[in-house]
Amino acid sequence: MNLKPTKPLSGFIELLPAQQRCFDECVRRMQEVLATAGFSRLDLPAIERAEVLTDKDNWDEIETQMFLFQKGDTKMGLRYDGTVGLARYVAGHLNDLNFPFRAAQLNKVYRGERPQKGRYREFYQMDMDILGIETLSTNYDAEIVATISRVFESVREFVGPVTIRIGSRPFWNALADYLDLKAEIRNQLFIWIDKRAKVSDKDFQTGLFDIIGEKNTSEILKVFTDGYKSFLNKSDNLNVAVREIENFESLLADMGIKNAIIDMSIMRGLAYYTGLVYETFLDDHPQIGFSVCGGGRYGELAGKFSKTSIIGVGVAFGISRMFVALMSDDLIDLSKFENNIDVAVLVMGQAQVGFAMSAVTALRDAKIATVPYLDTDKKFKNQIEFADKIKCKFSIIIGEDEVKSQVLTVKDMATGNQEKMSIIDTIKLISKGK
């Protein structure tokens, strides 16, 4: 008989128990920050109608990264991010929600792309968005950035410090207008600016020259040498964009945010972001090579679902990408997550199972993580080896004498000391050390 493969499909993630416990703890902390910031957690369907996920009508010509399938006459697909489902949800519940509405999501998302380090076909993503009707103050952009900072501070011991880099789409649009760049040329320019961090200064300048010529290249380079403020009073639109960035920086300073900087090379989402945009990077781990959180302001969230204008600002945290990359490279100390069991109850004979399980129940009622070893025909050596392998803090040994006297033999696995005591005293001892 040929054995079936044990490895998952390429691009799908499986964690070992200690890794999973670390991941769960980090996600718990991050979600707690969002909850205290007033974000309402949504649990939206993983499957949407194909027409919701894509604007293309010809099923055979859809060339995306989506997993699409059909049941009967209904064409469907797995969600590839949290934004599309959120847009549908908000448009369908306009009269049920209070705006500005704060939404948080923790979802598995699915993308049919080529798997590689940091890119998977199934992964967890955490989203937070603030949505308004018709208008939404840029003060909420600052609120989003401040929350990003607090989220990463909650897991700093695992991922280290971060820097939030902020760009401005209105600034670049205004500068392109000032330089009188045609739509096709400005798109090429923006795509090249987005690659600035990945090429040398010389290559960057050469690329600019090829796209926009020598005179305009000089103007673009001034953004990075003299700063965005040097374009004040060049045009009305540039004035508006520059003032927006200035006010934003001032507000972040007032909020005590010290790990956010203006970086005009941050572009992202050329097709849909209309305002400030953000990318977050791990300071201590530049080698992982990607942003761990990104987002920005979008001018129209739900245009294909509702005639009501819904403005939004939000970000997505690439939590699977980040934590899997760090754990794969042994950059997170997992020692504190190797032991999740406080007590192993070792049972010396079938006749002792009833008393042993009553002790297990009492320990669990006291919130003490307890595992019974119920293969009662195994020798004591096998059982104590099990207790040692799972790295429990205590083992409780129950044989005929313990049942007769209604006491437990409690062994400290670190010191090897053991003594007999009542279940109440056992709970006190173990709870004291937690």
Does the structure show a pLDDT above 80 at 285? Answer: yes
Each residue of 205-235: pLDDT tens digit? 999 999 999 899 999 999 999 999 999 999 9
The per-residue pLDDT for range 228-258, each reduced to its tens digit, is 999 999 999 999 999 999 999 999 999 999 9
Give the pLDDT band of residue 126 (cuts 50, 70, 90). very high
CB burial class (10 A; 0-12, 13-18, 19+) of residue 102? buried
Question: pLDDT tens digits for 80-115?
Answer: 999 999 999 999 999 999 999 999 999 999 998 888
Q: Would you say residue 415 has pLDDT above 70? A: yes
Characterize the bridge pairing of strands 370-373 and 343-347. Answer: parallel
pTM summary value: 0.92
- Whether the predicted pLDDT of 59 surpasses 70: no
- Distance between CA atoms of 147 and 253, rounded to whole angstroms? 14
CATH class of segment(s) 17-328? alpha beta
Angle, alpha carbons 160-280-268 (nearest 5°)? 160
Does residue 219 contact residue 175 with C-beta atoms inside 8 Å?
yes
Name the residue ranges covered by the structural domains of the chain: 17-328, 339-432
Report how far residue 363's alpha carbon sits from residue 136's, in angstroms, rounded to the nearest whole number. 52
Q: Which residues pair with 418 in a beta bridge?
A: 411
Q: How far apart are CA 118 and CA 182, in angstroms?
A: 35
Do residues 232 and 238 lie in contact, with contact meaning Cβ atoms separated by under 8 Å? yes
Q: How distant, in Å, are the alpha carbons of 17, 18, 323, 370, 391 from that of 21?
A: 6, 5, 12, 17, 15
Which helix (H) or strand (E) segment is 76 a member of? strand 74-78
d(CA 149, CA 289) in angstroms, rounded, equals 20
pLDDT at 1: 81
Judge whether residue 284 has pLDDT over 90: yes
User: Tell me: the pLDDT tens digits for 17-48?
Assistant: 999 999 999 999 999 999 999 999 999 999 99
Average pLDDT over residues 276-300: 93
Considering only 29-38, 129-138, 284-293, 309-318, which range has the smallest mean pLDDT?
A: 284-293
What's the Cα-to-Cα distance from 112 to each of 24, 116, 245, rounded to whole Å? 25, 12, 37
- Tens-digit pLDDT profile for residues 361-409: 999 999 999 999 999 999 999 999 999 999 999 999 999 999 999 999 9
Report yes or no: 259 and 149 within 8 Å, Cβ to Cβ.
Answer: yes
Q: What are 260-269's pLDDT values in tens digits?
A: 999 999 998 8
Q: Kindly report, residue by residue over 143-183, the tens digit of the pLDDT.
A: 999 999 999 999 999 999 999 999 999 999 999 999 999 99
Backbone angles phi, psi at 174, to 5 degrees: -65, -40
pLDDT digits (tens, 9 = 90+) for 319-343: 999 999 999 999 999 999 998 899 9
**Cβ atoms 272, 162 nearer than 8 A:** no
Q: Which band of pLDDT confidence, cut at 50, 70 and 90, is reported for residue 117?
A: confident
* Domain covering 339-432 in this structure, CATH number: 3.40.50.800
CA 185 to chain centre: 35
